Amino acid sequence: MKVTETFLKGCFIIEPIVFGDHRGNFFEVFNQKIFEEKIGLKIDFVQDNQSISQRGVLRGLHLQKGKYAQAKLVRVIKGSVLDIAVDVRKDSPTFGKHFSIVLTEENNQQLFVPRGFLHGFATLEDHTIFSYKCDNYYHKESEDGVLYNDIDLSIDWGLKDFEIQLSDKDKLLPSFQDFQD
């Protein structure tokens, strides 16, 4: 696996080595030893989640607070997404900055999003299957987030406003300023 740290410390792009022949292909999705050697992190994933969405569905920006914070390893099984990680670690030099990457079934790239980051994604194709591993269990009372189109974050989601489909819950997320307060 090729592991590349983004400009957000602790946030990594992971590219598997794909072995293919006339039958199809094979690659490792996760390898604990490689995580420990290349990222310097012993992580215990405890929950796998998957969503299926149509083009224009935007999920985010989410995180869990406190002792229920989650690190995530995200990838696309089918289709494509624009994936976003926002550093909200108050002591970080990149606080409030975001990183974006297009994850597709063709490029097989993954993004490791550490604890202390908001995360969200916008689906770029119909029937997109998005999968992610979490190192902590879901805890409803610890949910938090920021509105996807917050002016201070200024994220380009790669979709026109009329294309974006949000959950009722995501429509009510606070601004980045209110989130910080």
3-class secondary structure per residue, the chain: CEEEECCCCCCEEEECCCEEECCEEECCCCCHHHHHHHHCCCCCCCEEEEEEECCCEEEEEEEECHHHCCCEEEEEEECEEEEEEEECCCCCCCCCCEEEEEEECCCCCEEEECCCEEEEEEECCCCEEEEEEECCCCCHHHEEECCCCCCCCCCCCCCCHHHCECCHHHHCCCCHHHHHC
Q: Is residue 141 part of a domain?
A: yes
| pTM for the whole structure | 0.94
Considering the domain boundaries, does residue 174 fall inside one? Answer: yes
Q: Exactly one of 98, 119, 132, 148 is catalytic; name it.
A: 132
- For residue 7, tell me if it sits in a domain: no
Whether the predicted pLDDT of 34 surpasses 90: no
Give me the number of domains the chain comprises.
1
- How confident is the model at residue 180, as a pLDDT? 87
On whether residue 148 sits in a domain, the answer given is: yes
- 167 found inside a domain: yes
In a domain, 106, yes or no: yes
136 lies in which domain range?
44-180
**Looking at 62, 98, 119, 148, which residue is catalytic?**
62
Averaged pLDDT for residues 94-123: 97
Residue 137 within a domain:
yes
**In a domain? residue 139:** yes
Active site residue 137: no
Say which CATH number the domain at 72 has. 2.60.120.10
62 is catalytic: yes
Q: If pLDDT is split at 50, 70 and 90, which confidence band does 1 have? A: confident
